[in-house]
Amino acid sequence: MVEVLVAVGIIGIMFVSLYSGFSSGFAVVQLARENLRATQILQEKMETIRLYTWEQLNTPNFIPTNFLEDFYATTNANSGVVYTGSVTIAACPITEAYSNDLRQVTMKVQWESAGILRNREMITFVSRYGLQNYIY
Amino acid sequence: MTLVEFMISGSIAAILLSAVAMLTFYTGRSFASMANYIELDQHSRGTLDQMSQQIRQTTKLLSATSQKLVFLDHDGSNLTYVYNPTNRTLIRQKTGQPDKVLLTGCDNLEFNIFQRNPINGTYNQYPTANAATCKLVQLRWTCSRDNIYSRFNTESVQSARIVIRKQ
Please give the DSSP secondary-structure letter assigned to residue B104: S
Question: What is the per-residue pLDDT for A124?
Answer: 92
**Minimum-distance CB partner of B161 among A47, A61, A63:** A47
Are the C-beta atoms of residues A50 and B167 closer than 8 Å to each other?
Answer: no
Question: What is the rounded CA–CA span in Å between residue B107 and residue B152?
Answer: 10
Q: Do A40 and B158 touch (CB under 8 A)?
A: yes
Closest CA to B138 of B153, B152, B119, B125: B125
| Å between A95 CA and nearest CA of chain B | 30
Q: Does B49 touch chain A (CB under 8 A)?
A: no
Q: Do B161 and A136 touch (CB under 8 A)?
A: no
Q: Do A74 and B140 touch (CB under 8 A)?
A: yes
Confidence of residue B58 (pLDDT cuts 50, 70, 90): very high
Q: Of the ranges A114-118, B62-66, B114-118, B145-149, which is most confident?
A: B62-66
CA B102 to chain CA mean position, Å: 10
**Minimum-distance CB partner of A62 among B34, B121, B136:** B121
Global pTM value: 0.81
Q: Do B37 and A43 touch (CB under 8 A)?
A: no
Question: What is the rounded CA–CA span in Å between residue A69 and residue A44?
Answer: 11
ipTM associated with this complex: 0.77
